[in-house]
Amino acid sequence: MTLPTPGFSFEVAAVDGDARSAQLTTPRAIIETPAFMPVGTQATVKALTPDDVASTGARIILANTYHLWLRPGAESIASHGGVVGFMKWPHALLTDSGGYQVFSLAKHRTIDDDGITFRSHLDGTLHRLTPEEAMRVQALLGSDIAMVLDECPAGGAPRNVVQRAMVRTTDWAERCLQMDAVEGQARFGIVQGGTELDLRRSHLQTIAALDFDGVALGGFSVGEPTAQMYELLGRLGPMMPADRPRYLMGVGTPTDLLRALSSGIDLFDCVLPTRNARNGQALTWGGRVNLKQARHRDDESALDARCDCSVCATYSRSYLRHLFKAEEMLGPRLLSLHNLHFYGALMRKAREMIRVGELRRWVEATLEQMHELDEIGEAEID
């Protein structure tokens, strides 16, 4: 199925329940979905080279418009051929609008119907972010997929505040679409609505009716109970356009991904696998592993016997623990590589199970094993 922007297509290859396995084609890459996008906030996936990231199977990453706009500047990056030329990433790229980061500044920003005025967290300088400016900056960054500016209300916000954010997000989405299209850059709309199903359904219908190349769900994982998020995703996923990519923004854990893709979501991003890696937490087929725990001090076994990444093939848990206890930078690097490899393998296996019609059985068995062996939360004795 050809998408509105020339050079982009989306083809569903298999369906199992609400889940689907598909292929998203951009001018730079072919992305098999469901897919996880590693986060390269400042034109780098922390501690890893682009070759490292590609070795995990990733063919699309996310970069952050807010941070790159402020440093080193969109014009500077454009002179290098965009983010992909700047960081030497040869595959696809999605950029967010920068809105989420601006809203997180709280006391340092003001919002009105036209846009957001904020002070840089770097030097306190005043900036203005509008729907048009967000698209202009993303055009300079040269991403394959640009996200429109939206208003993400805080978790637990009153209904009237959520409704106001929906109206504003719709207006901003329409303004983004009124701008001239950028060659080779698709545009995704964003659905808000908090945790109330009627608001989510209403806003989904509004955004889906616009001429976007894909539709994203924003405003999740902002403090709501995970069971509530899963319930909403189970209702919303099947309502999303069947002929376009569906993207769940900023989520999440392996459990989150498996529950969401079972509801029909295609794309995910989250800092969790690399952030947790930098804090000594490995994500495995047997659950989370806290390498700082004393139990791993003399453990000569591989991090995950079911993983075929170079880290698991080469290093023992004992050595990896030593790197973190000694505060050696190699520790976060190796664990980041493993965690992203695990996420890639999780998505590949999910696609396989969808194709053979065994997703539900496999998901339940996988989650049971992960939760049974999970060791996070146990105190370290050393």
Catalytic site includes residue 96? yes
Gyration radius of the chain over CA positions:
21
- What tokens appear for 104 in the block? 């997180």
- What tokens appear for 54 in the block? 């590609």
Query: What count of Cα atoms within 13 Å lies in the side-chain half-sphere of residue 371?
Result: 8
| CB of 163 closer than 8 Å to CB of 203 | no
> Residues 16, 52, 144, 269: which is the catalytic one?
269
Q: Tell me which residue of 7, 3, 11 sits closest to 32, measured CA to CA.
A: 11
> Residues 16, 52, 96, 144: which is the catalytic one?
96
- What tokens appear for 159 in the block? 């209904």
Kindly give the residue spans of alpha helices, DSSP state H, lying in the chain. Answer: 50-55, 65-70, 74-78, 82-87, 99-103, 131-141, 159-178, 197-208, 226-236, 254-262, 272-278, 310-314, 317-325, 330-356, 359-373
C-alpha to C-alpha distance for 148 and 130, rounded to whole angstroms: 10
The dihedral of CA 332, 338, 339, 340: what is its sign? Answer: positive
| CB of 104 closer than 8 Å to CB of 116 | no
Cβ neighbours of residue 253 closer than 8 Å, sequence gap 6 or more: 270, 272
| CB of 65 closer than 8 Å to CB of 141 | yes
CB count in 10 Å sphere of residue 11: 11
Q: How far separated are the first and last CA of the chain, in Å rounded? A: 57
Measured torsion, CA atoms of residues 85, 87, 89, 93, in degrees rounded to the nearest 10: -80
Catalytic site includes residue 308? no
Supply the residues annotated as catalytic. 96, 269
